[in-house]
């Protein structure tokens, strides 16, 4: 029974086709069709307002040099947001519960921010490894600690996203299993459990959105340190 709880983290197949592929194509149907006018209807207005709001929040900590990353960071948060929310639908799975995918996103982007800093302002970037005013005997230890914390950043990005989404999905699976098991035995308790499951699902939707935002926000903060 324990193994069945983790079956949700493997992509279901229908006629040999992973169902995650058509689910990832679903957001493409929400894109506005091209027309002569920039804004065709209210739905397009809401989409443009949402993208503008996300971009504004992400670009606020950055100076003008970091605004070149606006398209990349906005695209990344929309991708993570779509994947996290689509993973809550039945017969799909969340790719961001896989540590390999999260590390494949976190490691190159973190490395890009680091290389940008080393190329444009190497002295300032290396200066983060040693806080100003450090006593001389503590310099080797602090350099080692700061270097370790620097290289742990991409791991923390990937593990944070994986752990939060995995924990939420497992908790939903456990409570839903308990709801079905208690229905013939104690209907009143099963109804109460179903209510808890509904509230937990709403919470998981919020977690999916927050984790996508936190992932990209931390990347923007790492970028700000290096530009």
Rounded distance between C-alpha atoms, residue 78 and residue 80, angstroms: 6
Rounded distance between C-alpha atoms, residue 162 and residue 9, angstroms: 11
Give the tokens for residue 58. Answer: 């992400």
Q: Bridge-partner residues for 17, per DSSP?
A: 14
- Highest-scoring range by mean pLDDT, 21-25, 50-54, 174-178: 174-178
Whether 125 and 52 have beta carbons less than 8 Å apart is answered as: no
Is pLDDT of 211 > 90?
yes
Is pLDDT of 1 > 50?
no
- Taking alpha carbons only, the member of 76, 87, 12, 67 closest to residue 223 is 67
Higher pLDDT, 155 or 10: 155
- Average model confidence (pLDDT) across the chain: 81
94-114 tens-digit pLDDT: 888 888 889 999 999 999 988
Give the tokens for residue 122. Answer: 């190497």
**Domain ranges for the chain:** 20-226
165-191 tens-digit pLDDT: 988 888 888 888 888 888 888 888 889
pTM recorded for the entire structure: 0.79
Is pLDDT of 124 > 80?
no
Give the tokens for residue 15. Answer: 């006629």
Rounded distance between C-alpha atoms, residue 112 and residue 28, angstroms: 28
DSSP H helices, the chain, are 2-5, 20-25, 42-59, 70-86, 99-120, 122-127, 139-182, 187-226
Confidence of residue 34 (pLDDT cuts 50, 70, 90): low
Q: Provide the pLDDT for residue 60.
A: 78
């Amino acid at each position: 029974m324990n193994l069945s709880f983790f079956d949700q983290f493997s992509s279901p197949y229908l006629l040999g086709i992973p169902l995650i592929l058509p689910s990832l194509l679903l957001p493409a149907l929400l894109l506005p069709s091209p027309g002569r006018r920039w804004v065709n209807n209210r739905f397009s207005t809401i989409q443009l307002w949402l993208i503008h709001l996300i971009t504004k929040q992400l670009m606020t900590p950055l100076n003008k040099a970091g605004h070149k990353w606006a398209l990349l960071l906005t695209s990344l948060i929309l991708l993570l947001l779509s994947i996290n929310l689509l993973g809550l639908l039945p017969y799909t799975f969340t790719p961001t519960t896989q540590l390999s995918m999260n590390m494949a996103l976190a490691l190159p982007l973190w490395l890009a921010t680091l290389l940008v800093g080393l190329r444009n302002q190497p002295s300032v970037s290396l200066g983060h490894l040693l806080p100003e005013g450090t006593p001389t005997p503590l310099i080797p230890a602090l350099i080692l600690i700061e270097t370790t914390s620097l290289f742990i950043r991409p791991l923390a990005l990937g593990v944070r996203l994986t752990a939060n989404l995995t924990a939420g999905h497992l908790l939903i699976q456990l409570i839903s299993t308990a709801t079905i098991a208690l229905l013939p035995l104690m209907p009143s308790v099963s109804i109460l459990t179903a209510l808890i499951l509904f509230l937990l699902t709403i919470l998981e939707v919020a977690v999916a959105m927050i984790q996508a935002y936190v992932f990209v926000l931390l990347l923007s903060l790492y970028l700000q340190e290096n530009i």
